[in-house]
Amino acid sequence: MIETKEELLESILKEAIQKTKKTNHIQLVSITKKIDTIDPLHFFEAAKQLEADRTFWSSTADDFFMVGVGATYKIEATDNRFDETDEQWRRVKEQAIIYDAYQHPGTGLVAMGGMTFDPNKERTVLWENYSDSEFTVPSYMLTKYEGKHYLTTNVQVSKDDQAPDIANTINETIHTLLKKPVTAAVKTEIINKNEIAPDKWKQTVEDATQLIKTSGVEKIVLSRELRVRLSQKAEITTVLTELLSAQTNSFVFAFERAGDCFVGATPERLVKIQNEHLLSTCLAGTAPRGINLEEDATLANELFQDEKNRSEHDFVVKMIKQAISPYCTDIEIPNEPIIYPLKNLQHLFTPVTARLTSGVSMFDIIKHLHPTPALGGVPREKSLQFIREHEQLDRGWYGAPVGWLDHNNNGEFAVAIRSGLIQGDAASLFAGCGVVKDSDPEAEYEETNIKFAPMLSVLGG
């Protein structure tokens, strides 16, 4: 007799419940199945009906999507957060019952989340719903990989649970998630902008240049906040739709927490691990796009030849190599960067590839890569100390690692720039720039204005 999908689900749940009766511990069960094609944005929008936090991740260049709904399991850490998160994730993987016949990147048991830029920076109420380090195993997760769609259900069972009841709830929820929602796109307009102390920020840039000239510090990255008021409550699905359309070479992400949503489209990959192969990318050095092909090429050439930008870029390349060397072999780095074009900006870009040595985890790599010189500075600790003491905002998850990892040690993390924290009909947008000894405060200020553009455009600015 061939079991139906419903019977197989019940059978798996019964097996897990029987195990809990022997161990007297709650059991995490992860079940992945292949499903018909569905638009990830429809899945994300349909999840609103469940009134649970949603998570969205897309590598647009790879046509790779993940959408998480709810949280069956949560990993949080404050002290020694990289090692503690790594250890908690290891235990979760070891103890879970995982049914995944496909074993693709992003299928099976997956954790999605991120962390704060600097846990030693004084926190503000702005980021009260976001932990220092928080990763969730979604209750339901859609994965699109190489044109195929997979649905993973994660559930915890106890010895007193009844398999048919849990199976019925799961099937009803899946039906809701896979049914195309009937909603109209809601586009906002920006009705007010409030720059947070721009003159003081420019003075901080000047102070940083003076410190650099008189100390061993080479670079300090300073960020600032732009607070905007919207014409109505922002619909995150609409924001994601706009970002996916406009930022085609980026990682588009959204992390909801208790009504707030940290969302953005970052071009900067921190690290990707797949089948024990590592890819990290240096994206440092920025210029605007031209209004025509000729101007665009001129700006690209100026960026490529610019001593300040090439120096900033070289800082990051050297740091990445130094950070991954203890954990990798066969490291390969091109001799020169290339130009990486986006809709609003273009960057200097250098890929770094390597092979992981045995036993190395994603968090071993992130721990040593974050923050890169493109977000912190050089040397790391001195620049971070200046940022803690002088920067006027709580970066929260801005500029920090966000991403996902699966039970097969695949995963991908990006640096959360070109982003904003949306709170109903208001949003805080963030942008930064690298300050070196010859930096001009007004020029750095204008660079941050350019970097605000991607989020301003999708919010109606």
- Catalytic residue numbers? 219, 268
Of residues 18, 31, 36, 110, the one with CA closest to residue 71:
110
∠ CA 139-30-411, rounded to 5° = 85
Phi and psi at residue 313, to the nearest 5°: -65, -45
Instruction: Spell out the SS3 assignment of the chain.
Output: CCCCHHHHHHHHHHHHHHHHHHHCCCEEEEEEEEECCCCHHHHHHHHHHHCCCEEEEEEHHHCEEEEEECCCEEEECCCCHHHHHHHHHHHHHHHCEEECCCCCCCCCCEEEEEECCCCCCCCCHHHCCCCCEEEEECCEEEEEECCEEEEEEEEEECCCCCHHHHHHHHHHHHHHHHCCCCCCCCCCCEEEEEECCHHHHHHHHHHHHHHHHHCCCCEEEEEEEEEEEECCCCCHHHHHHHHHHHCCCCEEEEEEECCEEEEEEECCEEEEEECCEEEEEEEEEEEECCCCHHHHHHHHHHHHHCHHHHHHHHHHHHHHHHHHHHHEEEEECCCCCEEEECCCEEEEEEEEEEEECCCCCHHHHHHHHCCCCCCCEECHHHHHHHHHHHCCCCCCCCCCEEEEEECCCCEEEEECCCEEEEECCEEEEEEEEEECCCCCHHHHHHHHHHHHHHHHHHCCC
Beta pairing partners, 75: 135
- The structure tokens listed for 215 are 């100390």
Dist CA 13 CA 276 (whole Å): 32
Dist CA 130 CA 424 (whole Å): 16
- The structure tokens listed for 288 are 């605007």
Please report how many Cα atoms fall inside a 13 Å half-sphere around the Cα of residue 38, on the Cβ side.
26
Dist CA 390 CA 328 (whole Å): 36
Beta pairing partners, 288: 345
